[in-house]
Structure 1
């Protein structure tokens, strides 16, 4: 059984025959490509990503800065915390075997769409509208004039009093994250349309 990269050479001979030419065959055994416990994609919450490899005894090396990993890169010892948009690249090595191909997974963290309480609708009395977001550490910006909010819009710090018909739009942002989609809610005041 060939368990590592090996070159086998052989000749054949028999009494009364000239010895054959040397036959040679090289068997390159390559470490399996590393795998990721979390599929690459877009997420609204931080992720913990475990790396694995099916080759027994292989050591996984990885990077999170976009560079190509080598055996001089960080050796994998435990799950990687992805707390902002990150590209993980990983390769595996084992003595006597060819290094694996490089596996790549990009995790895009995008803030969740802001939500409103109470929900959009028609109300007889003025409403105090709260805006929240399920993604951690975000800052919310909003408008009440129907325009699309930006990071130059008012920052949400507390409930918004809605008396007349109003459309509130909001976004959420965080360092290292993609901006959320725009959340929107229209409140119709029945006392003053």
Structure 2
């Protein structure tokens, strides 16, 4: 398949050929007995009409020379050539306009392709969130394969489902007790998932006749032994369960529950049920502690590849700084202070230090009213790295406790964002 640049060059050449072929180089002979001034004016009018279709100086000069040779008096040729000199500026302008149009079309095409690729990246990241998977290698590999053929993307989806289950401690549907996987139907192509801005918040339905039942956990909060499995169920028919273990409130973009969750470290679990009518339940929460469980070690550095390109899909951890954000007093559009929670490095060079500012926005800020809790929703949008604008894609929801309690984002709270497009940062 030809590249976009070659295709544009070919189309440009064909367009020029078509324009040249429509320009007749036939000359207009002077009428016998016509005065020299009238001859010159007639020849110039013809040349002027021909030049409107020309974008090539050599062709114009050839047409002027041929027309001048048809004039039978020196005076007529002198007058005609003087007038024809003004046509060269017009052709130059036509040529410049044509090149400007081609450049604008090429720029628009490149921008369209860049937007299309960014939407693919966002769709894949949302797919990773729904699988409960945020590890850098898995997300980057998914993004790299996003533009490949559907068959490879479908196979990738199956691999990611298995990796997500291992990472979250879930038991894969169709997996035997010995750990061997049974035959599975083809997984959907993650590249074909609809693109939605994160996160999509579904309001609770307190007091509604169609209220979705709160999820039920098989293990209550408290101290448990490592390896304990927690099952989740809902009394609402056909409800879909979504959960988080990162301290944020689950939404329909969070990990979808597909089997028991294994607790191997201190875990804060939050679950919602979403009914087939897209109404949702209240949030069910539980905290599980493992005796003598070591604190998780978080990566403190994001390494940029040697070519200096920060790859789309690279996870970047951010943290809230400054004062607490409270849904009671916060408003959409309020400035919020978010910073990098890890260094961005190329080799030994720090391109962006920990604590560098991140562009983020508060998109929902609802105070608690009556039995409904308060909500806070934010989006992570971009960061400056080595003077380069790097687009980011990410966001979370925080909901207060039922009973009108407000949501509060405390300083130090962390969240994950992802690089939205390949960006050269060296």
TM-score normalized by structure 2? Answer: 0.20
Higher helix fraction: Structure 1 or Structure 2? 2
Higher strand fraction: Structure 1 or Structure 2? 1
Higher relative contact order (CA 8 A, sep 6+): 1
TM-score normalized by structure 1? Answer: 0.43
Name which one, 1 or 2, has greater alpha-carbon Rg.
Answer: 2
